[in-house]
Amino acid sequence: MNVVLASASIRRQELLERLYKEFTIIVSDFDESSVVYKGIPEEYVKELSKGKAMAVCKNINEPSIIIAADTIVVYNNDVLLKPKDEKDAYEMLKKLSGNLHYVYSGITVVNTYNNKIISESVETQVKFSDLNDAEINEYIKTGEPMDKSGAYGIQGYGGVFVEKINGCYYNVVGLPLNKLKEIIKRIS
């Protein structure tokens, strides 16, 4: 059966290669701003991932497994999306400095052959060390924070700020592989 990743994320593509050697990439045109955050991160990311998966389903004409994901960072119940600019990245990193925050990923897997849809979420706790302004500004200069929720990438330079995690590392990267593998078993 054809496997489709509904994401342009290089990180998700690299992670999915651990489960599938061959898959197709179809970037979803789902309007994420149509989903309103109502204070429950688990539901929010599931709704985002389901919207992405269903948007891609419309373009599929053969039996396929469609995989969609969305990842957010939450601090004090505020969702920290991708920073708008360097100032926004600085403010996010300053908030996370020395603090515990949560990373949530929603995963939706659709089997178009049997019309099964499973949407679930994964939570990981992340504790940052204390960061000074120089460390934050040097990190921002790398450009890495600009396309990542919460303004950091644990798999890149931002990983040096992570004091500890409780939960799935790959969730923080953007695709919780263990949960995805379990969902695929259930949906096939």
Tokens 């379990």 belong to residue: 182
Please state whether 111 falls in left (phi above 0), alpha (psi between -120 and 50) or beta: beta
135 Cβ neighbours under 8 A, 6+ residues apart: 161
**Active-site residue list:** 70
C-beta of residue 75 within 8 angstroms of C-beta of residue 95: yes
Amino acid identity of 106? G
C-beta of residue 152 within 8 angstroms of C-beta of residue 161: yes
144 Cβ neighbours under 8 A, 6+ residues apart: 152, 153, 156, 157, 158
Give the C-alpha separation, 38 to 61, whole Å: 34
Tokens 């992340």 belong to residue: 126
Name the token pair of 51: 């919207």
